[in-house]
A and B are shown apart, each in its own frame.
Chain A
Amino acid sequence: MSRFPLDLGSPGWEYAPAPEARTVARLDAGAQGRLFIGGTWQDAADGATFPTHSPATDEHLADVALAGGTDVDRAVAAARAALPAWSGLPGAERAKLLFRLARMLQERAREFAVLEVLDNGKPIRETRDFDVPTAAAHLFHHAGWADKLDHAGLGPAPRPVGVVGAIVPWNFPLLMLAWKVAPALASGSTVVLKPAETTPLTALRFAELCEQADLPPGVLNVVTGAGATGAALVRHPGVDKIAFTGSTAVGKDIQRTLAGTDRRLTLELGGKAANIVFADAPIDETIEGIVDGIFFNQGHVCCAGSRLLVEEPVHDLVVERLTRRIGTLRLGDPLDKNTDVGAINSPAQLARIRELADVGEAEGAQRWTADCPLPERGNWFPPTVFTGVSQSSRIAQEEIFGPVLSVLTFRTPDEAVTKANNTPYGLSAGIWTEKGARILWMADRLRAGVVWANTFNRFDPASPFGGVKESGFGREGGRQGLHAYLEPSADRGGIDG
């Protein structure tokens, strides 16, 4: 190997560090620590704040206002006050404002991408190539709906649902914001957004974008905080609809809280997706799909393909090829453009992943861990694969929400379907086979809101996304997703009215 002046370590050379400049995130540029209510930046009524850290380095990034009940009251009142004018604005005008937001987000894409990396810990490759462009695409798609609501399938002149309380998780902070804010604003509704505790920064930056775009005050309000802030928003009688993405446990709490209130609710909750590999799968792309399915965003994905179901004859082969491939993943500085796997979002999440991985081992599954050095500071967990996992094992049943894959086997398509469906969840599923008829047969039978065949973890603003069973209800994306933010026209009548 000395013939070449390269550091040629197997399996490949080491890429020189290629870090994105963190200054692009403009972390020191004021305002981002305060609440955005009624078009103004406010401290929390009681002055409380909480810190947000970089998961990759433990570095303190900013102190952010901790919204309490009074702040949530104010935000809901601001959203209510803004509602008549916003919903009364001609759809075409709302559309232009949304298009403007989409374009401005694209213009400042690099800034948002870097800021998301700092706050979330995911690799810049993902925020740059996925989170930010997809968020902009959602705004762009829904902008076009704003003046076409008559064609959404709810009859003429549907009404906006009203004041929306949007509660988004930490795994895709900006993208989940866009999934909720875009259709809400297109419908003529106004929004109080509660970002996740550990990832508030891109939401606040997005509020700045709305300010810059001249979105009317109160149409989008951002209240940062923790669980209590979200709970105050959920309980608030001035909110007409809650749109929540997060854990199944919290989703159930929200559904209970709203019991008997007639307030509308959509829930996008957890999952334990089966990714099903048949012997005739396109093997190289399948291996890539498995990797995408579980290591995308460190496995912090509700629809992650965390249960790999492999047809028995190819089990050893798939595991062999998969582990070889995982061995080439680059874990480390998420700002490095060549990093494939970033940091675990929080110490709490890291503890949960460690606990479940230990349980997997204790339950007798074989643990394989990628041989990659972990940075000394920050929250890190190496890509991990468990083989010999039984259906009853906790790592085959519980959502780990980390870079941990459980491998099980099946013998027949029926068995694959049965095992895949044997979970209270039902968010997504994957099928890998070259046989078209089998794909359609499987897709019919899998109890999941999204079925990816010969691909995985694909998302699009025109494509409805959401779960069945305890993975939640309601859809996000496309015409059907828009329904969650609309009420049929009051004079449409009918026995349901």
Chain B
Amino acid sequence: MKPLAIVVFALFAVSMNAGVCEAAIQGRTGTEFDLVARAGHITTGDGDSILMWGYAVGNGLMQYPGPTLIVNEGDLITVRLKNELSEPVSIIFPGQDGVLAIGGNSGLLTREAPPDGATVVTYTFVASQPGTYMYHSGTRVDFQVEMGLTGALIVRPSSGANRAYSHPQTSFDREYLFVLSEIDPTIHELVELGRRSEVDMSRYFPVLWFLNGRTSPDTMADDGAPWLPHQPYGCLPRLHPGEIILTRVIGGGRDLHPFHPHGNHLRIIGENGRLLESAPGAGPDLSYSDFTLTVVPGSTYDALFTWTGEKLGWDIYGHGPGDPLQPNEYAPDHGKPLPVQLPEKQNLMFGNHYSGSPFLGAFGDLPPGTGGMNASGGLFFMWHSHTEKEIVNNDIFPGGMMTMLIVEPPAVRIP
């Protein structure tokens, strides 16, 4: 691990002690949204500061990705856009039918807001189908999405809370968003230096990779972490054993990414805002399980994930035979000892997310200076791009498109 990464990890540790994590997807709810395209600088795990263009809410800061718009099925949605950048921008809503654009100037894909900071373009559509979507600029899409003009759109079904789609088999206990993207900083540097005309997208070579607009380890910091004012969305999924989380995954850049959830398989129940079902009302009967999800640019995926530690052949809680069962514990393994002896401490290198114990909710003896990022005795599982060159921040390992999922002991409250 490089010294810089250590510093960043240390910052993260401080934040975790003081912080409040949020289990719900952060975003803006409602039916009317006022967005302004403006510029700002994001920070990346290699210590860089990069000019981005993004959608801000009203007078707020530019943010990357743009505000997650969370709406309800059947609602008439209105998005008003103003533009404080240096060239026309717009918004398109892939997957939404009958988007009406009014105002501004006509563009190739939709009506555009001129860079005057005042003209308003209004986009309206009925959010007719529940699911996970994205929105992004429809102007010079190759360049402007790279600059950051993109965001997530979530349409909740009218049939009930905590469902991905109308069908009850799409129910979840918690949900998390994963917007996968990448950038080539040389493009952003040229824009910042006023050399926009020299940008050549054909020479695109990304070296920074993001989850929800952050590079690891910032992905694991809180939503709204104050030192990331332009990157408000964290990406730290947590669950208790037996709970079901819905992972909403968006291919938000231009490359494919193989997204690998350690810990267990994903069951993919929806793609591109449609339930994987053979007939309306059938439920996710065409859903499938996989240990790595191919995330295609422009596509979205809704997948369910759960974890109990069942059939490990040993008791993940470290129970003795007479101890009571934990909620959702796999009873046949109850009280079974760990089948191997772990090496003595001097034979091991310890990770900072390791509690020192193999058992959920337990702590073990750790050498000084290790284990500092595991406050609860939870089990940490890395969720990351399995194109492993993408879990770096430029040439510094580790970083990039990577975070942790935490299986928390039943007694630990997840907000």
A and B bound? Answer: no
